[in-house]
Amino acid sequence: MPEDVTVRYLRRLWHFVREVTGDNAYDRYLAHHRLHHPGQPPLSPRDFYRQQQERKWSRVSRCC
């Protein structure tokens, strides 16, 4: 029984870490895409991350 609790705790912790770090961004994108754009093919992981990087770095990101 304690092993089961430990496994559940570790899974929740792993899910939290992936959520906070953005590691699950592609999984979230796929879920959104299936729901809102059912007839269109999704971006490949490579294209998705390239688009994310372009969005992040294509604008000025400083305060002054």
11-37 residue pLDDT tens = 999 999 999 998 899 999 999 999 999
**Cβ–Cβ < 8 Å for 52, 29:** no
Q: Is residue 64 part of a domain?
A: no
* Residue 30, in any domain of the structure: yes
- Is residue 2 predicted with pLDDT exceeding 80? no
Handedness of CA 62, 16, 48, 28 (dihedral sign): negative
> pTM of the prediction?
0.70
Parent domain of 18: 2-57
From residue 53, alpha-carbon distances to 3, 4, 7, 31, 34 in Å are 40, 39, 34, 20, 22
44-63: pLDDT as tens digits: 999 999 999 998 888 876 77
Give the pLDDT score at 45.
95
pLDDT at 32: 96
- Domain contains 29: yes
Q: Which contacts (CB < 8 Å, 24+ apart) does range 25-33 have?
A: 25/52
What's the mean pLDDT in 37-43?
Answer: 96
Domain count, the chain: 1
How many residues are listed for the chain in this entry?
64
